[in-house]
Amino acid sequence: MGNGGAASNTAAAKEELLEAVAPLKRGLTATADDKARIDKLASALERRNPTKKPLASDLINGQWELMYTTSESILGTNKPALLRPRGPIYQIIDAVALKARNKEGPPLFNEVSAELIPLSASKVKVQFKEFKLLGLIPVKAPPSATGELDITYLDDELRISRGNRNNLFILKMRNRSVKP
């Protein structure tokens, strides 16, 4: 099979993954079977990753919308339903400046800014710097507010990452020109 076949297989795999996550409210309503299926579909795409050094690629920069995650803290599974994010959740990355910002939509409009510390060509340590509650109230993050993120798939429209707490993140590019 030529490259055209591989490209169409990758496109079909991306479409299948995005269709599978679409009804799951970013993962909030995912069952154990859903999570296993999504992980399998994501793993298949990760094996086809066209960007071997994501942190050196311009494709990483911009505003990404979170389509799916297994992170309970991001989903707010331990919060009352009224306090869970209902609007879009964005991650904005500037790999050149080594900065990132996460923004929640309604009802709370929380944000967090972070510094990125490269650990490899695909992995960063995330040092959270400041939380902004209700989009207004700044709270300095403690030095212990850290994580790691490995970018396992990156193309011009889709990013898959895996965190150090075994969380999966699937994001779709929304705006390349937005900076943190």
According to the model, what pLDDT value does residue 19 have?
97
- pLDDT tens-digit readout, 57-114: 999 999 999 999 999 988 888 887 877 888 899 999 999 999 999 999 888 888 999 9
CATH classification of 3-175, choosing from 3.30.160.250, 2.40.128.280, 3.90.79.10, 3.40.50.720? 2.40.128.280
Q: Where are the domains of the chain?
A: 3-175
User: Which tens digits make up the pLDDT trace of 26-45?
Assistant: 999 999 999 999 999 999 99
Q: Which residue has the tokens 């999504």?
A: 38
Q: Half-sphere exposure of residue 48, counting CA atoms within 13 Å on the CB side?
A: 18
The predicted pLDDT at position 3 comes to 52
* pTM for this prediction: 0.92
- What's the pLDDT tens digit per position in 121-136? 999 999 999 999 888 8
One-letter amino acid for residue 67 of the chain: M
Q: Over 70: is that where the pLDDT of 1 sits?
A: no
Predicted confidence band at 116 (pLDDT cuts at 50, 70, 90)? Answer: very high
* Confidence band for 7, pLDDT divided at 50, 70 and 90: low
Per-residue pLDDT, 100:
97
Q: Is the pLDDT of residue 118 over 90?
A: yes
**2: pLDDT confidence band, cut at 50, 70 and 90?**
very low
Cβ atoms 92, 26 nearer than 8 A: no
The closest alpha carbon to 121, from 54, 39, 36, 72, belongs to 54
